[in-house]
Chain A
């Protein structure tokens, strides 16, 4: 009878070979500090994943070209190991594990979206690896007592708060009762948008207004005519939409096609969906909350002012008419790392964590100061309106450069 290995032997041998083949490296290699990040390069978050990656890269380039990170009198360069999380939390958590255990990464940059951050934060927490993230805004990330999670952005309940406030103010001015203000809501069924929705509902309750439509939209949204048909019939005073870039693009397209005449429309992710260049005059008057705007008077040691960052970013990456805030905050997260390394003057991750926690800096992206829970409490959200194809700040009044146009012109 023949002597051959059985299938089982082959399986075991193959598995062993695969395990041995993968390389391992360390957190600081020679004169390079290695950061790690799982980012959505494919899948439904890929648009914003790439905006974030561009943001990380532009900041890393700038730091590496201007002397690097100085620790213990020596200058180090920054490098990021990127993996593609395919926009799914399951993959994101596995890749975080891989970055930490196999690539030896000790310092993490965040992924894109609240869902992915929710999946990765428990992993970084478990290994006590500090993570500075720039794209996970969900409030629930900061109520879990995570000690190693820091976010440079404002949390999600603030996204549409000023739009709701504005609707109440307009009603007051027009002498309309607040409970007669009708609001239509359409939110994507994903962790981020549901969290924004929770914030909006709190605000609406507080201000005593009325919700007439409360629709959940599927992921990877490509059609919302059902909601918009209801909007035409019920004529709300304010339409609120949130659904990442794809959702914003779909909403803008169909609002144009169906000639929706709602006087006030607020939606997240206008910039990253590039609605102005795609849909032109039809999006005039949309209110878009933003974490950052190039017209704000923020200024910092790196990149100079917000406007300087805008210029540099557009010169570095082609195809951007408006720089999405996703890129700006990603760049800011890298700056937090640089400052923290230098202040800690050490690569010990506990010392670096301490340094991050005590961050207090002014950047082109705004002020950054973390609460005990790890979210940035020093920077407001601003509300912009698209006026004649430009994004102008209309709220809060401290930063407003233009008056809000109401009702919006329907074209």
Chain B
């Protein structure tokens, strides 16, 4: 149980970083907020791909669905959505502070619920598929969603939706003075969404941490390891799969609602259903960190986000090559990801007790005897079994 004893300072450090970062590095608030969203991406993908062994390429669907549900909820109580999104932009709009936050709260809640409902519905269809068919099926679902939304004029079609503007003041004086810069009222939007993203990531992590330790978590692993056998043993696999997907969808829907408001403008293909960017990133981050582990997605997302933010803007035109290289290196050399690799090398760090007491030792002894017997038969020298 060493891992547990060392986990606490880690949690504390991360929590302290999360809390003080927006105060110490006000200029980086949005990038760190994106980091939390990336962590949610990787964690929720891992619930499916890592714990349950269903490699979904379409999880981004719930991100986009959440974003659109939230946007509609933010506009619809006060304006006609069709007029609001009209491409000629003739409607002038303004939202009061109350309207904004009420709409946002409603949007986030309904985005979460709506995504869960969609997951349950689509689960009926796609969970008939397994392996690569499931991956392609879900990918198709996300792409189709983007195209369909793009053809739906009421919510702006391909022209997208401009979200209500965060009610920030116009004072020129900074609101707070902090060590590395001031927080202006213009930064309030960034700070607000930083906190919501941070809380979302923490809740997602804690929830999944709890979930993986329950019987439910074991059922997911059983489905991953051998679905047919699990079914034969009486595990209601369809139910577990649907619930797991709904859990992913719940958190992804919220992340979409928040992301849309951080960016302030959304349209179906590149912002809401970006299958080739975020949709692939979430898989890559989980693989990089180590799929099927709790910490793997967190580490993978952090590393990936840092690589992306530090190098991409300085490697104009080469960023996709870097991404491709990262995928190749991960898939070829790091199949278990960073945490998976560490877990194998240093199981004791993770509180995993490699059982050498009974079964392990007995197996070792049997192997040694067999080897000795074989060597004796061959008339060679008896050697210590290599272990």
Chain A residues packing against B (C-beta within 8 Å): 1-16, 18-19, 21-22, 24, 41-42, 82-84, 86-90, 93-95, 97-98, 101-102, 115, 118-119, 122-123, 125-128, 138-145, 157, 188-191, 193-195, 197-199, 202, 216, 218-219
Contacts and interface: CB of A to CB of B under 8 A. Distances in A.
A94 B29 CA distance: 11
Contacts of A195: 87-89, 159
Contacts of B157: 189, 194, 216
13 contacts: A4-B346, A21-B310, A42-B319, A83-B316, A89-B160, A126-B165, A138-B89, A144-B162, A188-B158, A189-B150, A190-B159, A191-B159, A194-B158
B168 interface: yes
A219 B268 CA distance: 11
B88 A126 contact: no
B28 A101 contact: yes
Nearest to B8: A6
A216 B270 contact: no
Of A41, A87, A140, A197, most B-chain CB atoms within 10 Å: A140
A4 B277 CA distance: 35
Interface stretch (B30-38, B95-103, B218-226): B30-38
Given A89-B270, A90-B270, A218 B349 contact: no
B92 interface: yes
Q: What bracket does the count of chain B residues touching chain A fall in?
A: 35 or more
Contacts of B92: 143-145
A126 B189 contact: yes
A89 B271 contact: yes
Contacts of A191: 87, 158-160, 267
B120 interface: no
A41 B313 CA distance: 11
Nearest to A93: B263
A5 B265 contact: no
Secondary structure type dominating chain B contacts: helix
A138 B21 CA distance: 38
A45 to B, nearest CB: 11
Of A9, A14, A199, most B-chain CB atoms within 10 Å: A9
Given A89-B267, A143-B92, A189 B309 contact: no
A19 B32 contact: yes
B88 A199 contact: yes
A216 B265 contact: no
A127 B186 contact: yes
B266 to A, nearest CB: 8
Contacts of B190: 97
Contacts of A198: 86-88
B263 A94 contact: yes
Nearest to A1: B2
Contacts of A122: 162, 165, 264-265
Nearest to A127: B186
B195 interface: no
Contacts of A89: 160, 263, 265-267, 270-271
A122 B303 CA distance: 30
Interface of B: 2-3, 5-7, 9-11, 13-14, 16-17, 21, 25-32, 34-35, 86-92, 147, 150-151, 157-160, 162, 165-166, 168, 184, 186, 189-190, 259, 262-267, 269-271, 274, 277, 295, 298-299, 302-303, 306, 309-310, 312-313, 316-317, 319-320, 339, 346, 348-349
Nearest to A7: B295
B186 A84 contact: no
Nearest to B1: A1
A66 B146 CA distance: 49
Contacts of A197: 87
Nearest to A118: B265
Contact of A218 (B28, B147, B270): B147
Nearest to A191: B159
B316 A128 contact: no
A1 B348 contact: yes
Given A139-B88, A143-B90, A216-B157, A84 B313 contact: yes
A225 B299 CA distance: 47
Contacts of A9: 9-10, 13-14
A201 B299 CA distance: 52
A409 to B, nearest CB: 34
Contacts of A83: 313, 316
Of B88, B264, B298, most A-chain CB atoms within 10 Å: B88
Given A11-B10, A90-B271, 20 more contacts: A2-B2, A7-B295, A8-B10, A8-B11, A8-B14, A11-B14, A14-B306, A41-B316, A82-B316, A84-B316, A89-B270, A98-B31, A102-B27, A118-B162, A122-B265, A126-B168, A128-B186, A142-B89, A144-B89, A190-B267
A274 B29 CA distance: 42
Nearest to A220: B269
Contact of B349 (A2, A90, A142, A199): A2
B356 to A, nearest CB: 16
Nearest to A188: B158
A121 to B, nearest CB: 9
Of A11, A139, A198, most B-chain CB atoms within 10 Å: A11
